[in-house]
Structure 1
C-alpha cells in the first residue's frame, strides 16, 4: 500500500488571513510611528535650545563677561562681542519657537544672571498637547517642563508663552 506524502506549505486561505492581520497591524502602527517621530523632533529642538542657553550661561561665568543669545529668525546664536561661539538652526517644519518677550535677545552676565527672564514654547502645528515650555529665570537657570505641561503642572492652553 503506497503511503501518502505529507503536504507542506500554506493554503491560500491561511495566507490571506495573515495578510489581513498584517494590514490591520500596519494600519495601527504607522500613524503612531509618525506621531512618535514628530514628538521626538519637537523634544529634540526644545532640548537643543535648553542646552544652548546653558552653554551661554556657562561661557559668561567662565569668561567673566557678558554673553548674548540672539535670535536670527530660525537660528539662535551665542555671541561674545562680535564673535559667534555657537549657532543652532531650527527647522520650522519640525517645530516653531515662540518667546515672551518677543523677540528674545538674552544677555547672560558674568555672575550667570540672565536679562530678560524669558519664556519659550517649542510647538508643532499649534498643537499644545505636544509642546514644550522652557522657562529662563532672571537668575539664569533654565528649566524644560514635560511635554504639554505648564509650570504649575496643568495642560498648556495654546502654543503662546
Structure 2
C-alpha cells in the first residue's frame, strides 16, 4: 500500500512538473513605454499647448486673488493703529476668510488642471491601450508591462538585450498607431 501511494505521488509530481514547465513556456511577457509613445503622437503638441494655456489662465486667476489678498493685508496694516479693537477683530476675521478662499482656489485650480489633463489625454491613452492590445495579440503575449510610472520612474530595471529586442513592443505600438520616429 505504501509503494502504491508513493507511485501515485511520483506520477502526480511528474505531471505537475510537466504542467508547470508547459505553463512557463506559454507565458510571454512584453513591455512598453506608453509615455514614449504618447510623446511621439502628433496630437501631443496641440494638447500640450492647450494644457499650457489652461494652466496659465488658472495661474493668472490665482495671481489676481493673491494680489487682492496682499492689498487687503496692507490696508489693514496701515489702519490697525487707528481703528477700534472690535473693527480690528472683524478685519482680521475677514482676512482669514480671504486667505482660506485663496487656499481653496489654489486646490480647485490644481484639481481643474488635473481634470483637464485627463480629459485631453484620456482618448490618447485609450488609443495606445488599443494598439497595445493589438500588438500583444499579434505577438502572442500573455502580459504586457508598463516600463515606467506616469512620473517617468522606471519599473523594469533590467532586461537582457535579447529580451529587449524580442519583447519591447514600444516601437511596434507606435507603428500600430501610425506614429513613426
TM-score by length of 2: 0.25
Structure possessing the higher radius of gyration over alpha carbons: 2
Kindly indicate which of the two structures has a greater share of residues assigned to helix. 2
Kindly indicate which of the two structures has a greater share of residues assigned to strand. 1
TM-score by length of 1: 0.28
